[in-house]
Structures are given as C-alpha cells and as structure tokens.
Structure 1
C-alpha cells in the first residue's frame, strides 16, 4: 500500500520571513468526531536556517512519519488552475486504473534532459503530489486535483509529471513550464496518444505584514 499521507494544502505559498510553526495531528477516524482516536499531536518549528529539512516524529510508538520541507529563494506562486484532457471522453478509459500527478521546481540552469527527471528522494527535488490514486474528472475533462498551489523558483521551471496506470504498466507524460512573474500560461503534456492541457496562474508572493497593511489602507 501507498505509505504516503498526501497534503491537500496549503492553499497558498508560505512566506517564511518569520519562523513557521506547523501543527501535526494524526487521527483514526471513527463514527463521530468525539470517537476519533488521536495517534499523534506535534508542533514542528521551522526557522529557515537550512534549505532542506527532515522532521521525524514517532506516531504513538507504532511507526514514524517523515515530514520534509524545502525553502525556495526568489520564488513565485504557481496555481494549477486546471489539467484538462483535450478529448474529455478519453478520461474514464485513460485513468480507469488510477493515476498520479506530481510536480516540483527545478533551476533553469543545468536541467536534466527530458526523460531524466531527478528521483523524488533527492533532497533538492521534493515532489509535490497534486493527485494520487483514483482519478476523476468533470464533464469538460478537467481532472479533480487534491492540491493546486506550489512554489517555484523565479529563475527556474515547474516540472509536471502525470502517470496513468494500466494493466500492462504505467504510462508517463511530463512537461516543463517556465516560471513567470505574473499572468496565465498553458502547456500541453502528451500522455500516450492523449493530450492534456495544463493551465497555470502565476503570482508574486506577499513579502511582509507591513506591505499588506499599506495596501489595505490604500484600498480603503
């Protein structure tokens, strides 16, 4: 079975000019919330002193959980607005055995050649899972993703890798999307004989609380 717990957030990029506290709660769901069994409650403190960190808390003395993070300097926020099959009718057959959509940021200089993307265990290239397992779509062919927002180095690229499971094995498609300061870009990922259109909205990050307050006062 898949050993990973997949995050559905955050809903925006985290700016860590100040220390960040991540609260971790792991429960076994029961009939009602009051009957849930708490396995672990931890608070992880990130000060931004290192670019890549691993935090390994023990879950109820039964197992361990590894939480990894990476700090991207001079980054922008990429919102995956949608991934759509250009022929919507192909969705049920293409992803009937499930699939996987992941992405990660790469520096533009020294990128690996196509088909040679770095392994997800490499400390500098953490894969962000957008969807894994059952793949469903709406009537217009857009895939339902569990996560939409990632951070990308401004001088780099957003790498999107899509897998579709089949009885004969998984097929994979990948596309490199150049980071932008703003605007919306569209790229095509070829998955076997199918084409998926990927739409990404780019935006700069809010730098500090003072900037927010100043912008808010001007709008009022």
Structure 2
C-alpha cells in the first residue's frame, strides 16, 4: 500500500492514532526515497558488478582519509571555527576522492542532494507536528549553510572572474548591442527618467506606464580582505544594475580614478549614487561590478572585482567573491511599487541647524514591504563643517527610491554634533501616490525643513514608450 492509499483512509482514525498513521506514512516515504537514492549510488559509483564492489571495499579498507591540509582548508573557507563544533564526530572516508575532478564534484553534488531532501523532509515533519528543536541545533544548521555558501563562492571563483565577465560582455553585445534593438553599447547607461509620468493627470495614465515588482538597493559593502590587502582602500570603478526595461546600465556607483572613495574598516560601504530610476524585477536583473584599488601608479592598481551576478529570487544579499576580498550588495524586493524622486530637502525658516553635518535617509515600515529587515536607503551622510552646502538646500547623493503603492515613505533627517553624535532629528511621512508631487514640512529645533517628492509610475518596456510617442 503506497502513501496515496494510506492517506484517504485516515478518516476512521482519531487523535493520537491519526498522528501515528501520518508519521508512519512520512517515514515510509522517506525510506522509499532513500532506497531510490541507494540504487542511484550503486549505479553512479559503478558498483553493479561484484568485481567493482570488491575493489570499492578494498579501497575503503585501506583507509582513504581526507588529508590534513584539506580539512584545514575547509575550516578556513567556512570563515567559522567549525573544527571546534565537529571535533567529536567520527572521521569519514571519502570514496569520491578520485582523479577526475568533474566526477568528484558529481559525487559531492549527489550527496548534497540526498542531504537537502532529508533536511526538507525533517523540517516538514517538525512543522506539521509542532515539534520544538533546540536553538543550538538551529544555529548549527545556519552555520553549515553559511559555510556551504562560502565554499561554493570559493569553488566558483576557481574559474577566472575576468573570463566570466568577458563572456557576459560578449553575450550582451551579441544579443542586445545591435542597431536593430537600439540598446547601444555595453557601457551605455539608461536615459529613462524616474519622473517620466509625474505630470500625468491622476487616473489617466499612458499605455506604457505601470506598477510592478522592483528591487530596492540599500548598500554595497566590502568584506573579508585577504592576503596582503589592508585598510584603507581607495576604490574606483562601476557598480551597475541591468534590467529588461531598456537593457542598459543603471548606475549604482561610478567614480573615476581621480575621484576614488576611501573605505576603512569602520566604514566599508560605497557611497551609492543610484539607481537613477527604479529597477524592474519582473524578470532577472544583472549586477555588474568593475572595481579597482588606486595603488601607486595606474599600472599598479589592483583589480578588486570584474564580475557579474544575476538576481531572480527573494534573497536579501547578492554576493561577489574575488581573490582579494568579497562584497555584499544589500537589497530587497517590493511588489506593486512606484518610484519616488526626492527633488528637494531645504531649510525654509530659521537658522541653519546642520553646521556639523547631516544624515538623510528613507525607510518603509516592515509591515508594508516584503523585506522583513525594513532597512534604510541613505540619501546623504556627511560629517564636518567644511562639507556642508553654502546655501539652504542639500545636494543629495541619491534621489530615487521605490515605494509599494499602498505603503508610506518616511524621510528621516538627523543633525550631527562636532563629535558625530546625533544632536537632533525629525521625519516626514509621505503616503505613496501614482503621480504628481508631495510636499511635507517638519520642525527641526527653531527651524523648518521642507521636502518635495515627485511620484511616477514605472516603465515596463522601452518599446511601449516609443509607441506612445515618448521616445523617438
């Protein structure tokens, strides 16, 4: 009797008996699946014949073990002291330590498939029967997941990032760089305005306008410096997103060698200036990273990253490994979103309260987003009297953020003291709109600050704008 025959008959069982039958059904399904996996292992490892099984047993009896340098290397790759956690486990022989690397990886991936299924099955049973699990075991699972991710990054970097990036460039050029598609060159940036539909009359919108799923970009952080690389780093280059709206680059960061940014261990974040419009995430989004470190003469500069990553899921971090360090792009996905452009933040009454610097950031409440972290989009963060504007208006580093249509955008303003502490702060909430502008004011000590925001729907495809006459 298979599971399909067991489950319909549960009606005659009550309470504890019903739970027992369900548990047995789950257990039988796991046994059936594991039997199938065992058959696959026998076939994949060439153990179908007696002679091959004899060779296999002989090989194991000779005690093939992971060499000490491999064990040490894996603990280094994990970034955690896993040896302390697993020191009490029995040493396991590795029958897939073979000369053929592809074959070895196939065996490892096969074993990982088994493990993933077992963990998923176990998690399903725990959830269904509300069985508690110790917190330290959950932390151990998390530690292992992070370790697998780091090892995967290290293996993937075994291929040349430069070669992979060049393949991406050539693939884009052949697919989108022709005159017929009118996407221009690989380095061309998007020219679509984030305020394209701001002027529209409410409830009367052009065909090419829409609400949609977008990516909110929060930060780009340099981590895990390796080898002889030390802080500070003088970084320049390009970080860009590329969606399917026009297939051109949407710059997140762009600095020349002469205008490089200094990063240190206390502030390892790039000062982002984009995106210049909302990043549509209905389809896959590519992130391209070309960064270098200014080091002596130009010929001595060090390549930090020359890589590309595709985002097409709900992860909150895109990882970029390299031979000298790693990077984390923090982001979130918003559904049914519009785009907001912060046009102006200025002091309209009273004295200037930002003598020693200011921080201006936008945020969405966690209840109104698919991002449980509810992080901030920093529009400006400057310290020191000499960096402040010589008029009543702030020159923001970033201007464009995305907001879910039924959500609220909070613009928070903080003033610094000479020691970089927060002297005072205030905020204004703006309910999202399809179009037009919003004006808000807040008191800041004895002063008044005014904020102006332009709202606009998204562009789904550039060709739609051409049909509507927005583009030639």
TM-score by length of 1: 0.79
Supply the distance in 2 between the matched residues of 1:75 and 1:166 (Cα, whole angstroms).
36
Work out which of the two has the higher radius of gyration on C-alpha atoms and give 1 or 2. 2
1:150 aligned counterpart, secondary structure? strand
C-alpha deviations, 1:141-190, integer Å up to 9, x for none?
11111110010111011111111111473122112111111111100133
Q: Is the 8 A contact 1:159 1:174 kept in 2?
A: yes
Count of matched residue pairs = 200
Gap change, CA 1:32 and 1:10, over 3 Å in 2: farther
Supply the distance in 1 between the matched residues of 2:317 and 2:359 (Cα, whole angstroms).
24
Supply the distance in 2 between the matched residues of 1:207 and 1:219 (Cα, whole angstroms).
14
The equivalent residue for 2:414 is: 163
Supply the distance in 2 between the matched residues of 1:148 and 1:39 (Cα, whole angstroms).
27
Q: Is the 8 A contact 1:105 1:151 kept in 2?
A: no
Are residue 26 (structure 1) and residue 291 (structure 2) matched? Answer: yes
The equivalent residue for 1:84 is: 346
Are residue 55 (structure 1) and residue 318 (structure 2) matched? Answer: yes
1:200 to 420, 428, 453: 453
Is there any run of 5+ residues in structure 1 with no aligned partner, and where? 112-121
1:9 aligned counterpart, secondary structure? coil
The equivalent residue for 1:136 is: 388
The equivalent residue for 1:181 is: 434
1:148 to 399, 414, 420: 399
Supply the distance in 1 between the matched residues of 2:290 and 2:471 (Cα, whole angstroms).
38
Are residue 75 (structure 1) and residue 337 (structure 2) matched? Answer: yes
Are residue 37 (structure 1) and residue 286 (structure 2) matched? Answer: no
1:2 aligned counterpart, secondary structure? coil
Q: Is the 8 A contact 2:304 2:324 kept in 1?
A: no
Higher relative contact order (CA 8 A, sep 6+): 1
Are residue 96 (structure 1) and residue 355 (structure 2) matched? Answer: yes
Is there any run of 5+ residues in structure 2 with no aligned partner, and where? 1-265
Supply the distance in 2 between the matched residues of 1:208 and 1:30 (Cα, whole angstroms).
42
Gap change, CA 1:29 and 1:77, over 3 Å in 2: same
1:5 to 270, 274, 282: 270
CA-based RMSD of the aligned residues comes to 2.6
1:213 aligned counterpart, secondary structure? helix
CA deviation after TM superposition for structure 1 residue 103, in Å: 0.4
1:57 aligned counterpart, secondary structure? strand
Supply the distance in 2 between the matched residues of 1:33 and 1:185 (Cα, whole angstroms).
47
C-alpha deviations, 1:46-72, integer Å up to 9, x for none?
11x32x42123235434x322111111
Are residue 125 (structure 1) and residue 374 (structure 2) matched? Answer: yes
2:334 aligned counterpart, secondary structure? coil
Q: Is the 8 A contact 2:382 2:388 kept in 1?
A: no
Supply the distance in 2 between the matched residues of 1:34 and 1:194 (Cα, whole angstroms).
51
Which structure features the higher share of strand residues? Answer: 1
1:211 aligned counterpart, secondary structure? helix
TM-score by length of 2: 0.39
